[in-house]
Chain A
Amino acid sequence: MNETPGADSFAELKRRQQVTDPHSEVVHFPASEGLPLDSGAVLAPFSVAYQTYGTLNADKSNLVLVCHALTGDQHVANPHPVTGKPGWWETMVGPGKPIDTDRYFVLCPNVIGGCMGSTGPSSLNPVTGRPYGPDFPVITLRDMVRAQARLLDHLGVEQALSVIGGSMGGMQVLEWAATYKDRVFSAIPIACAARHSSQNIAFHEVGRQAVMADPDWCGGHYLEEGKNPRKGLAVARMAAHITYLSDRALHTKFGRNLQDREEVTFGFDADFQVESYLRHQGMSFVDRFDANSYLYITRAMDYFDLAADHGGVLANAFAGTKTRFCLISFTSDWLFPTEESREVVHALNAVAANVSFVEIESNKGHDAFLLHEPELFDTVRGFLSAAARRRGLDDASTGS
């Protein structure tokens, strides 16, 4: 894989610009309003970059908070400012879509630790005047959620009509429901779990080691050195990408087909289509994501264990909840299998919470939540409409 330095630096430039000057709204919380972290450190000052779609109604009761996944960002339903590709959830969010922006005010913030305008390891450390790099404090999903709660405060919204997300986004939804019970009217955690499993931590560790083994990582100081651990991060992405798909999905898409050749070459070039596909996934990911952000955010997921945070009993996390829950899982998702969603359902049952649970038949693996899944859309649309009715938002008054 030959790299073209010019193209690389251009993509790189566009991406790095997002850190300090994102194509988004940004709220800056001054040093006096720092964010206390689970680690004991305080992130101060800090910024949260966010996108919104639709209009906030007069009594501020129609906000749907979208939490993005590990490598997602706030660009849910608009072209991505770096890649130019459509937003990652345009099938779900928009006028007339299941999360109907004619009815709801949709908000998606970039997580702290990210690299699209919220404070993260590539942001400037106010103490040194240089990028944080490895000096950025380790963050947790609860820290991310706390930052989002501060954003809601800033917007003057007391309670979200719904908090929704898939994968790491779904874990944040659970954290929201546990930490801010009164601020979540309804919750839609998709393809997630109440804790990160040992297998998932293991996959993350492979990814992190790939990044750190790249000499261009420079002990985490690559920005100051004018370098980028592209190869390490690409390998991390390749490994992770396999876990987002299913054996069946890969086989259906590629089988053992060869890439632009009639026979195997008896070498280590990308003979197979699946190899070429993964290399492409890896390289294009590097264009839009920061290596240290990848380390920090995967770590935050690893630390997630909602039961452990509540005396070892998951039900305790939801005691007294009035939130209406709708959990969704996919049959072929082996990264966050249905059984893990069912554990959350049982914990919610134990506190007699209002919960719906839908398992969707799909062979697309974990990534199904991002893809065209009509049953997913029907579920979200139906559940959200019912929640809106319960919240007193009727179809007519919201102009649809």
Chain B
Amino acid sequence: MDAPVNPPALRSADTARVDLLLIAEMIAPGSRVLDIGCGDGTLLRILSEKHGVDGRGIELSQAGVNQCVARGLSVIQGDADTDLAYYPDMAFDYAILSRTIQATRNPRHVLEQLLRIGKRVVVSFPNFGHWSVRAQLMFGGHMPQTDTLPETWYNTPNIHLCTIKDFLALCEDMGAKVERVVALNANGTKLVSMPLSAQNLFGEQAVFLLSR
């Protein structure tokens, strides 16, 4: 995996979530952002502190929400599957769904909602096409467990895993425009100048920038 580019901006000692920094790079400064599944608010904080973004969050875990609000972030408790319906069309410049789509009950519906409420949509997810996933199933004969997918099959919240190829097919089927795809390897390095099939094999996670 000799990725030619290794931008220092993506190397961060204080966070393992390299995808978040990559997402932050995709967001135009000063824009209005909804982060669905915002967790402890790391991305929102990066966005509002460094990019002057008007950020809001939705988080499933009440503990996560309370932590975010106590830190001054605008976050509500809610569920991507049901609560996006309350937002008006094009309410945000960006709707972000980071590492959450694989845990929703109806990913297609969620993506439709995202494309409705956001002028642009950023989705990141762990790539189930990664070689180690394929190898564990093929040679180990067991459900894969990786750094981005650490749970066992019986307690994982990830009920709708997909590969980069799968997600592209869904976007095509829904008529969503894919503006950018970035795959990251296990070191958080961007895989560029690589054919899609190779990204699907070497990318541990992927970030998509979509629009209608």
Q: Check B74 against A358 for contact (C-beta < 8 Å).
A: no
**Interface 0/1 of A110-137, CB less than 8 Å to B:** 0000000000000000000000000000
A375 to B91, CA, bound (A): 30
Q: Check A350 against B86 for contact (C-beta < 8 Å).
A: yes
A355 to B76, CA, bound (A): 7
B68 to chain A: closest residue by CB: A356
Q: Which of A43-51, A221-229, A376-384 contacts B (4 or more CB under 8 A)?
A: A376-384
Beta-carbon contacts under 8 Å, B53-82 to A = 54, 56, 62, 65-66, 68-77
B153 close to chain A: CB less than 8 A: no
* Given A350-B88, A352-B91, A345:B70 Cβ within 8 A: no
Determine which of B54, B65, B83, B86 lies in contact with A358 in the assembled complex, contact meaning CB atoms within 8 Å: B65
A326 to chain B: closest residue by CB: B69
Residues of B within 8 A of A326 (CB): 69
Count of chain A residues with a beta carbon within 8 Å of a chain B beta carbon: 25
Beta-carbon contacts under 8 Å, A284-325 to B = 324
Q: Check A358 against B69 for contact (C-beta < 8 Å).
A: yes
B92 close to chain A: CB less than 8 A: yes
Beta-carbon contacts under 8 Å, A320-368 to B = 324, 326, 345-346, 349-352, 354-361
A360 to B65, CA, bound (A): 10
A389 close to chain B: CB less than 8 A: yes
B70 to chain A, nearest CB (A): 4
Determine which of B56, B65, B70, B76 lies in contact with A378 in the assembled complex, contact meaning CB atoms within 8 Å: B70
Q: Check A379 against B69 for contact (C-beta < 8 Å).
A: yes
B33 to chain A, nearest CB (A): 12
A253 to B10, CA, bound (A): 55
Determine which of A346, A357, A382 lies in contact with B72 in the assembled complex, contact meaning CB atoms within 8 Å: A382
B62 to chain A: closest residue by CB: A359
A137 to B88, CA, bound (A): 41
A196 to B18, CA, bound (A): 47
Residues of B within 8 A of A324 (CB): 74
Q: Check B66 against A352 for contact (C-beta < 8 Å).
A: no
A386 close to chain B: CB less than 8 A: yes
* Given A354-B54, A356-B74, A356-B75, A383:B69 Cβ within 8 A: yes
A24 close to chain B: CB less than 8 A: no
Q: Check A352 against B87 for contact (C-beta < 8 Å).
A: yes
23 contacts between A and B (CB under 8 A): A346-B83, A349-B76, A349-B86, A349-B87, A350-B87, A350-B88, A352-B32, A354-B56, A355-B74, A356-B76, A357-B65, A357-B77, A358-B65, A359-B62, A361-B62, A378-B70, A379-B66, A379-B69, A379-B70, A381-B70, A382-B69, A386-B72, A389-B72
Known pairs A355-B76, A379-B66. 9 more at Cβ < 8 A? A345-B76, A352-B92, A355-B56, A356-B76, A357-B65, A358-B65, A359-B77, A382-B70, A386-B71
